[in-house]
Chain A
């Protein structure tokens, strides 16, 4: 029997302490460097960056202020609950007075480390998270008391198995068909289980009052986020990378503080709209990215290239679970009773999601419609379909999206890449060619 033969962790081979430390430190150093570089690049493309962005620069550092805060709060008795995917009910975590944090990893170096165990066919987001776990790189992953793992794609399914050697993993199985009559009831059962587990871990009961206040907190965050997105619909007052950074910090920041800071940023940007103080010339081609999540810091590769290439592009909107999908949909509560709030939260995470893991007779139409709507609302000139190798769900939906975008007359470019810095030159050529084409189209 496997359990008799197996020693140590089930997937990750044993490494000596010194090796872990050495590798960990070197990756940490390079990661800090990458984060600094990214922020510098962002400042360079937008010299007149608003002051409010400084806060997000600070909080974006994985090994800085937020880590310290979380450590302090953990010492004070709070629990940190990680989640690997946007299906986890953040409202419940907040209601039980725990700290929610997303634990996906965007480190390229860690992905290389993950290659030791995982075959290259596996999605690099997973490999990178495994690699980060091998050397205890991610402070959020290390500090979390439990991890909610929605089994959305194959990568995440096995990732949770690998991580289960180290942390309590709470599985959630989203139904792959949203519209079936039984889907929602199955999902609600999953939610009920997770709710119970959160209550058990934190020792705090999720009550009408604290759930309501956490729903309202998240609604406020959505409100601030939508305010920022509405600004991006107009002339370019913020670069795409800055908006992405703001978005992604919400994954680990204190949500109330984040809301306040985002509102401050929006105040500043609104003034700039009046002064016509733009982040780039208003005729810059407007690009939308969709596909695999682009996680801070290393996956800034492609956005950096888009906004720094010649001719420049401007990322106006994305359709990714690392961006727009985090906060766009509010929880809509009809009656503030426990059951209705619970239903509302459950529905928001299942029904409003446009993840490609869903399938249906209409063929996951929600995502297609959503992309079409975004293109119209944000006046998108071209779409970059970003897929990292191994992200098959997004890769497979490309054919359909391309057909539709072709019919709409919107150019789409399939950008397949890896968690590596080696293809930057090649990427640059490809992105520049696409942006040149967009610019030529606009001129006509």
Chain B
């Protein structure tokens, strides 16, 4: 009884603090062109806190097979989905990295690759079959993409926050940014799908023994690294693992170096490559705003479903433009972090683009009243304003 009261009290305090934080930000940021950005930063930080809740609420120093114990994700979300244990946590289309132990949910890219190995289905870890798990992960991805689109990228994704923080650092240092040419951007965007195809095929090849009973690469399943080929080059993995290591919650050996058998050396090489990739992406996103978002395969997957033909109608969050009010001054194009041009190019109506991370910086910076607006379920919740006026309230 007392415990329940304490829990309710804690939740109330947490919710209260968050609301107070949002209010404080809105009051503090009087400049109309920075209000939404400040709110977004706040929500990103809250989202990261929720995703890596384990770092806050413990138990700390989770064992190697954390899902067997009372891991934070089990406390936060619960173990059972549809009456079956689902120890990895729900899949969200953000870089909620699997390798960091404190997470409450798991990156859908990891799940997609991992569940291609149905031989896990008999293990003590999962009671669901590989196909079921794949279905849940993929289904959640499709549903969330259809409804929220790339809202996850702009407002939730921890790696997005990392890039935004780099941008903020650059801003404070007053260093100029580089813009990529339209051609380079297009090339990056298209290469996302190559990456997706490559990692899925690689996963299947490595898991061939389980799928078709043929082992294409000897002892492939033993090399833990190669089970999830994309994760081994994903810049988010070393970032979160190192961050957790730095915070003292994680034994780095576990996530970054431990391999079995003949793959031991490969693991070391892969980890080195991975950290180099993180370095390149870090330097790159310091100079180019939201660089990774342009090549991110997860973003590509969401983009694929969110703006796909007839399903467009399902998307909850839309960016709309009133053609007459636009003078094509080009501000929306210049301030866009992933350099989306559709908002500028399209004439009017629904201007949401698949590469748009829905950060709404363009709406915030558009100087013409009511020209751009954010629609949630058909209702306009945020409109462009004459931001020269400071809010009177």
Contacts and interface: CB of A to CB of B under 8 A. Distances in A.
Interface in A204-255: 208, 219-220, 222-223, 226-227
A222 B367 CA distance: 11
Interface in A49-95: none
B265 interface: no
A332 B176 contact: no
B128 interface: no
Contacts of B177: 335, 337, 339-340
A208 B174 CA distance: 9
Give chain A's interface residue range (CB within 8 Å of chain B). 35 or more
A343 B367 CA distance: 16
Interface residues of B, number: 24
Interface in B331-387: 331, 334-335, 361, 365, 367, 386
Contacts of A166: none
Contact of B327 (A208, A227, A370): A370
- The residue among B325, B326, B327, B334 with the most chain A CB atoms within 10 A of its own CB is B327
Interface stretch (A31-39, A120-128, A344-352, A410-418): A344-352
A178 B328 CA distance: 9
A337 B388 contact: no
Chain B interface helix/strand/loop/mixed: loop
Nearest to B323: A369
A372 B388 contact: no
B72 to A, nearest CB: 38
A347 B334 CA distance: 9
Given A219-B388, A330-B388, A334-B334, A351 B328 contact: yes
The CB with the most chain B CB atoms within 10 A, among A179, A348, A352, A353, is that of: A352
Contact of A339 (B176, B328, B335, B386): B176
B179 to A, nearest CB: 9
B334 A329 contact: no
Contacts of B323: 369
A336 interface: yes
B77 interface: no
Nearest to A354: B327
A25 interface: no
A181 interface: yes
B107 to A, nearest CB: 30
Nearest to A221: B388
Contacts of A442: none
A366 interface: yes
A117 interface: no
14 contacts: A179-B328, A181-B182, A222-B388, A329-B367, A332-B331, A332-B334, A332-B367, A335-B171, A340-B176, A344-B331, A351-B328, A351-B330, A366-B326, A376-B324
Interface of A: 178-179, 181, 184, 208, 219-220, 222-223, 226-227, 329-330, 332, 334-340, 343-344, 347-348, 351-354, 366, 369-370, 372-373, 376
